[in-house]
Amino acid sequence: MIPVTPLIAIGEDELSWHFTRARGPGGQRVNKVSTAVSLRFDAAGSPSLPEDVRARLLSLAGHRATGEGVIVIRAERFRTVSRNREDAMERLLELIRAAAVKPKARRATRPGKGARQRRLDAKRRRSATKRGRGRVDDDA
């Protein structure tokens, strides 16, 4: 089990790893060694995640989540498989930790008396400014 938070831990059997050749520079070995890592985590079918965390995780994952609810994280920042594995794992754990935080409920508030007064005063000043831009009488 991989501890994510004090209440959430995911099993290693829930993760699947796939190794491919990384893009970008790498010299003579770039087309020979599969150092890029794709980590797949089935968030929709994971028994380790509570339902509310699962919903937040899939919305936070954005384009990294497939239509079936599988989160795919690709890591190719480093030149070794082990470092890329660690990087992908850490990014997945960060995502789950962010989803585990419950959003603060918004409490409806109303503007105070001073704020209402300031708003009305500003409207009066703006109105007076615009009234001053009217047509000029030639009587005087």
Q: Cβ(103)–Cβ(93) under 8 Å?
A: no
Summarised one tens digit per residue, pLDDT across range 120-133 is 999 999 999 999 89
Summarised one tens digit per residue, pLDDT across range 14-67 is 888 888 887 776 666 667 778 889 999 988 888 888 888 888 888 888 888 888
Summarised one tens digit per residue, pLDDT across range 95-120 is 989 988 998 999 999 999 999 999 99
Q: Which domains does the chain have, with CATH numbers?
A: 2-100 (3.30.160.20)
- Please provide residue 75's backbone torsions phi and psi, each rounded to the nearest 5 degrees: -125, 120
Residue 34 CB burial class (10 angstroms; 0-12, 13-18, ≥19): exposed
Tell me, what amino acid is at 112? G
Alpha-carbon distance values, 70 to 46, 49, 58, 67 (Å)? 10, 13, 9, 7
Alpha-carbon distance values, 37 to 16, 22, 23, 62, 85 (Å)? 10, 8, 12, 19, 6
Give the pLDDT score at 26: 65
